[in-house]
Amino acid sequence: MLKMGQCGITSSKTVLVFLNLIFWAAAGILCYVGAYVFVTFDDYDHFFEDVYTLIPAVTIIAVGALLFIIGLIGCCATVRESYCGLTTFVVILLLVFLTEVAVVVLGYVYRAKVEHEVNVSIKKVYDEYNGTNSNAQSRAIDYIQRQLQCCGIHNYSDWQNTQWYKESKNNSVPISCCKNNVVSCTGSLTRHADLYQQGCEALVVKKMEEIMMYVIWTALTFATIQMLGMLCAGVVLCRRSRDPAYELLITGGTYA
């Protein structure tokens, strides 16, 4: 009986220590994913009026920071076989697990809102384009057209409806619409083959939906790992509180 208890406890503790090391790695990955969402959002923020889209990113960074602390608590509590420490570890892990579930839900909610947000704001941003580097809307549009290799809202002909096109009167679109492999491109609409053919609206929506999916899958993956951590910690706690053999094992005592 004692050997069986020892085997079960040793296995649970080994897995738990290994999981705590994974938690440290997860903390770094979660913070990286959250920071990536922030940086990307900064490049596309003119196409979103609802800043609450960043809530999943803020939450996942907070979870990452907390996971580092959890890993430290878990390792110390496991090595010392502290009942209080393991209990604290399980409680905090449960709270983080629930937070990650909330991140998944929020990710799906805001992923569904991305298309509407872009549809509402993208025409306004294009209308405010003036072609100067000092204009934030101009920098944003030039950036996404180069980065996503697109031109206009639905295609390059959309530029003909903008105030910038009407004022410039040169029958051309911004240079950022030019394909990378065309050296002599001037943006002239008389040379359609030199321009990106696809519009930016669909690509911006696709990019932001992909980012939300990164957040969702990251949260789901580490939530699953945390469930295993809670299970192993629970096994150790149950053995310590209910199994006399385990108490003898950790104290070095013998049966009377």
Q: How big is the CA angle at 117 (ends 114 and 52), to the nearest 5 degrees?
A: 75
- Phi first, then psi: what are they for 178, rounded to 5°? -75, 140
- Global pTM exceeds 0.75: no
pLDDT at 70: 76
Residue 199 pLDDT grade (very low, low, confident, very high; cuts 50, 70, 90): very high
Picking from 216, 217, 219, the residue whose alpha carbon sits closest to that of residue 67 is 219
Distance between CA 139 and CA 208 in Å, rounded?
Answer: 19
When the pLDDT of each residue in the chain is averaged and rounded to a whole number, the result is 77
- Phi first, then psi: what are they for 243, rounded to 5°? -105, 110
pLDDT at 78: 66
For the segment 151-167, the average pLDDT, to the nearest whole number, is 90
Q: Does residue 19 surpass a pLDDT of 60?
A: yes
Pair 222, 64: CB distance under 8 Å:
no
Distance between CA 255 and CA 121 in Å, rounded?
Answer: 75
Residue 246 pLDDT grade (very low, low, confident, very high; cuts 50, 70, 90): very low
Picking from 184, 177, 188, the residue whose alpha carbon sits closest to that of residue 146 is 177
Residue 241 pLDDT grade (very low, low, confident, very high; cuts 50, 70, 90): low
- Range with the largest mean pLDDT of 20-29, 112-121, 154-163, 236-245: 154-163
Residue 252 pLDDT grade (very low, low, confident, very high; cuts 50, 70, 90): very low
Q: How big is the CA angle at 55 (ends 53 and 60), to the nearest 5 degrees?
A: 125
Distance between CA 42 and CA 35 in Å, rounded?
Answer: 11
Question: By CB neighbour count within 10 A (0-12 exposed, 13-18 middle, 19+ buried), where does 7 fall?
Answer: exposed
Tokens of 11: 């296995």
Name the residue with higher pLDDT: 12 or 17. Answer: 17
b/e sequence 116-154, b meaning 16+ C-beta within 10 Å: ebbeebbeebbebbeeeeeeebbebbbebbbebbbbbbe
Write out pLDDT tens, residues 47-79: 766 666 677 777 778 888 887 877 777 777 666
pLDDT at 65: 82
